[in-house]
Structure 1
């Protein structure tokens, strides 16, 4: 199943996406038939969505007829517009990307031996079709990074690698937009990745039940139709079970937490000369079995 946050007739709701029909079923309709209180947000839904509830929803969809809203009539928002906490990010988690940054100013010349963690503010995250602000007063070096995002489904601490999947709710796409000059100036990544609108997310959350584990998905980014990044998540340096287990050592992961797992080679910073984003550029971030997240740089 796929889940979306969307606006319809001015009201923000959560729904189930029927990708084969290009329609959305409002969650309120499904919960009404289950005689349960409707969650107001995606975060509230994730808090409730154990295996039993997911099975109940699947069964209800198979037995009942619900209102279906055409996707063209709604505004798709980021699945989690206001994350509870900063996004947890991984740097240099694909070998080819780690190699393409060797020798660059402000970069490390080593392949990571341990995960590189940092955080990113999204307040709010923007959705499919939204405009990324160019912030021209402080940067002319905006870069793109397509990344698989893991959505945590329940609280956990000191999680064992072999139990990591139990703590996952699903997956979505995040474009980790970055102002490279700000990264270099500050000597770390937080500020340059946390400017307003620098966290496109979506278009949907794919529930973990539709994606095989271990996760091996094609991942791609196009700029104005030109393929810049193309890889597969099987090329992670640190895979998802390792990440979840390592992060949770002594630090509680919470339902709704978003972990973005790194980007493959082909970012603008990796080209000679650099290929940073320009006003009007269209960025398409694709991940197999999830969809395509499309955004445009402010003109």
Structure 2
């Protein structure tokens, strides 16, 4: 199942992507409240509802498919972050071999973890402000794992069974702020520095998350071109490792690291940092294209 979160006058709505367009789930369900009272009407409810919630939503979609008025053209919607109310944004640093190589850094022995906050979330096509306090803003294409059920002390073998799905992210990074101290937080959590989207794709539609093409384009020029198979720590390893240190809850998101091709990996005389009006697109196989324009704050 492929879903979106989009803005309406009364808040953020859940939509299902179909060949006809985006189904407005709540608008469809309220037509027959007795029959569809248990259908998930938000991203949070969909994730928490597990397989049963997803199946119910699929049945609703089939039942109303001929009602044209319930479907919107995607281009006319203002999309929200695909998981708009997550409780944790956990990021893995230095997790691609060739990215570590370009930065002349040793491969880490265990996953390098840091966090972002919810102020950093942004949606597809949303402008990202360039902070006045930074002159070195960089892009980072990343695969996002979206947790589907509570996970604590899970094994690598079981880890993927705790995943609801996946989406694209751009782990935007202000490098001068990031490396001001040994803690990366300041350069990672500026406003809207974590665009995610456009879609949330359920795990059954993605298959093996460690075999996905991942690319970044800046103003149409390809800058990153890799595969998640180059990750040092695989998706199951990351989930298992984190779950042995903290409980993961439905809707928590994990950014799994970025491949080579970021600006900070270029020779210093070739580093041209993101500037006003630059358009950055993150594209991951089966997950669509996430595009954001950068603007002076």
TM, length-normalised to structure 2 = 0.91
Using the alignment, how far apart are the partners of 1:124 and 1:178 within structure 2? Answer: 11
Q: Which of 90, 106, 110 is the equivalent residue of 2:106?
A: 110
Taking a change above 3 Å as real, the CA distance of residues 224 and 175 of structure 1, as seen in their structure-2 partners, is: same
1:47 alignment counterpart: 48
Using the alignment, how far apart are the partners of 1:134 and 1:53 within structure 2? Answer: 39
Partner SS, residue 197 of structure 1: coil
Any idea what the Cα deviations from partners look like across 1:16-70, whole Å, max 9, x if unmatched?
112x33x11112245455522454532233112x112222332343344342111
Using the alignment, how far apart are the partners of 2:124 and 2:225 within structure 1? Answer: 20
- Whether the 8 Å CA contact 2:277–2:294 is kept in 1: the answer is yes
- Whether the 8 Å CA contact 1:83–1:123 is kept in 2: the answer is no
1:56-205 to 2 correspondences below 5 Å: 56-65=56-65, 66=67, 67-85=70-88, 87-102=89-104, 109-123=105-119, 125-136=121-132, 138-205=133-200
- Whether the 8 Å CA contact 1:285–1:292 is kept in 2: the answer is yes
1:280 alignment counterpart: 277
1:8-19 to 2 correspondences below 5 Å: 8=8, 11-18=11-18
Using the alignment, how far apart are the partners of 1:230 and 1:287 within structure 2? Answer: 10
2:23 alignment counterpart: 25
Using the alignment, how far apart are the partners of 1:15 and 1:63 within structure 2? Answer: 15
- Whether the 8 Å CA contact 1:81–1:124 is kept in 2: the answer is no
1:295 alignment counterpart: 292
1:106 alignment counterpart: none
Deviating 4+ runs (over 6 angstroms): none
Using the alignment, how far apart are the partners of 2:76 and 2:277 within structure 1? Answer: 25
* Structure 1: tracts of 5 or more residues without a match: 103-108
- Whether the 8 Å CA contact 1:174–1:202 is kept in 2: the answer is yes
State the Cα distance separating 1:148 from its structure 2 match. Answer: 0.4
Number of corresponding residues: 288
State the Cα distance separating 1:271 from its structure 2 match. Answer: 0.9
TM, length-normalised to structure 1 = 0.91
